[in-house]
Amino acid sequence: MREKVDFRPQFIGILRSDFTSIPTPAYVIDEARLIKNLQILNSVIVDTGCRILLAQKAFSNYDFYPLIKQYLSGTEASGVFEARLGREEMGDREVHVFSAAYREDEFCEILKYADHIVFNSIYQLKKYGPRAKSEGKSLGLRINPQCSTQTGHEIYDPCAPGSRLGVTRQEWDAGMDSETLSLLDGIHFHTLCEQNSDDLETTLCAVEANFSDILPRMKWINMGGGHHITREDYDIKTLKSCIRLFQEKYNLVVYLEPGEAVALNAGFLVSSVLDIVKNDRYNIAILDTSAACHMPDVIEMPYTPPLLLADNAGVKYNTYRLAGPTCLSGDVIGDYSFDEPLRVGDRVIFGDMAIYTTCKNNTFNGMPLPDIYKRDVNGEFTRLTNFGYDDFKSRLGSKK
């Protein structure tokens, strides 16, 4: 069931008229909002001495990497392409890589780009670790503290029963030997998803309970992502306390690798109403943007994205179901209410569309991808890239 959303905070200072100069559909990344998030993250770095990485899986719009590198310590990658992107576009900043399993034919290339390489199993640490260590890489192993702190989003819970991610203490004891342990510089865990620092505090208790004898032998600990540090109600004081505890108690360098927090509420998706149809009690507005293609997390998570000048269904007088133009019956963005009836040609502006959108979108049904724009600190728009038929075709066969 999709939860109720408070739309108001996401659109402070935003007007529909701000977006009339660009064609739809279009992603818009707001530079001023991005800078605000980066300043908050940088303040944690300055106050604690920790290192914060951009998790590129959530936001990988590299036109903004020169800006991001002014505030953060580097990038986190989930594979060879992200590792290369981080190295090429953020230069001398750290590049960390984690993969659930590395391929032999890609690992040599990863060694060219990565500073830190984190393994998901003791087997792969044994297989690739000596080679990586000989190349001067800092090596880590992902652990599973078996401590679930989230509800409602099991697909994003790495500590769920049967998880493929991270080594449990039982697996550690069964497979670890002194020679393999000597390869390790750090341990990594990632257990959170859009959560506050109280859940990190709970997780750290589980990490200590299961791995306290290992921690003194390490140089660093990576506390993963899922920290909603730039959300208004986030408890930064507790986060800093957690960081300092592990720095002082175990003499560890602490890494965080948030993705969402970097670009939270820093992007929009501008769309237009193409048609309005009725079915039973529903008024349905068909848009020129698709949940399935352009905001897939809306269906995958699922969640209802915030919408400018709208409220939850039934709150205002006119309620509509907003949906995409594809043939997928479930290509539904959500139910919203408005003060005035929607009309064909009206623009609708979705919020929080910088994260898990441009890096996850697709061309199902031959849907064109939205162009990407930057809105600078002065409110001016610059088109960063545009997409067409060749982008659709080139993914599917030989380039003719």
Is the Cβ–Cβ distance between 388 and 370 less than 8 Å?
A: no
Count the alpha carbons within 13 Å of 349 in the hemisphere toward its beta carbon: 21
pLDDT digit string, tens, across residues 70-111:
999 999 999 999 999 999 999 999 999 999 999 999 999 999
The mean pLDDT value for 141-163 works out to 89
DSSP letter for 2, please.
P
Please determine, for residue 59, whether its predicted confidence score (pLDDT) is greater than 50: yes
DSSP letter for 17, please.
G
58/354 Cα distance (integer angstroms): 8
Q: Other CB atoms closer than 10 Å to residue 275's CB: what's the count?
A: 10
pLDDT at 366: 96
pLDDT at 7: 61
The mean pLDDT value for 32-52 works out to 98
Please determine, for residue 6, whether its predicted confidence score (pLDDT) is greater than 70: no
Domain span(s) for CATH 2.40.37.10 in the chain: 8-29+266-393
Q: Cα dist. 229→157, 198, 232 in Å?
A: 19, 12, 8
Above pLDDT 90, what percent of the chain? 92
Confidence of residue 387 (pLDDT cuts 50, 70, 90): very high
Is the Cβ–Cβ distance between 261 and 229 less than 8 Å?
A: yes
User: Cα 254 from chain centroid?
Assistant: 20
Please determine, for residue 1, whether its predicted confidence score (pLDDT) is greater than 50: no
pLDDT digit string, tens, across residues 185-197:
999 999 999 999 9
Is the Cβ–Cβ distance between 387 and 27 less than 8 Å?
A: no
Q: Which of 148-152, 323-327, 348-352 has the lowest mean pLDDT?
A: 148-152
71/48 Cα distance (integer angstroms): 14
Structure tokens at 383: 């088109």
Confidence of residue 16 (pLDDT cuts 50, 70, 90): confident
Ramachandran category for residue 365: left, alpha or beta (phi over 0 → left; psi -120 to 50 → alpha): left
Domain span(s) for CATH 3.20.20.10 in the chain: 49-263
Please determine, for residue 335, whether its predicted confidence score (pLDDT) is greater than 80: yes
End-to-end CA distance of the chain: 45
Q: Whole-number mean pLDDT of the chain?
A: 95
pLDDT digit string, tens, across residues 24-40:
999 999 999 999 999 99
Please determine, for residue 65, whether its predicted confidence score (pLDDT) is greater than 90: yes
CATH for the stretch 8-29+266-393 = 2.40.37.10
Is the Cβ–Cβ distance between 83 and 54 less than 8 Å?
A: no
Collapsed DSSP state (helix, strand, coil) of residue 255: strand
pLDDT at 306: 95
pLDDT at 150: 82
Collapsed DSSP state (helix, strand, coil) of residue 18: helix
> Would you identify the CATH topology of the domain 49-263?
TIM Barrel (3.20.20)
pLDDT at 17: 87
Structure tokens at 360: 């996850």
The mean pLDDT value for 362-386 works out to 97
pLDDT at 232: 93
Is the Cβ–Cβ distance between 276 and 285 less than 8 Å?
A: yes
Structure tokens at 227: 């920290």
pLDDT at 5: 58
pLDDT at 212: 97
pLDDT digit string, tens, across residues 244-303:
999 999 999 999 999 999 999 999 999 999 999 999 889 999 999 999 999 999 999 889
Structure tokens at 49: 């001495």
Collapsed DSSP state (helix, strand, coil) of residue 357: coil
Residue 240: name the closest of 376, 30, 45, 38 by CA.
45
pLDDT at 400: 66
Q: What angle do CA 56, 59, 62 make, to 5 degrees?
A: 85
Q: Other CB atoms closer than 10 Å to residue 89's CB: what's the count?
A: 19
392/400 Cα distance (integer angstroms): 13
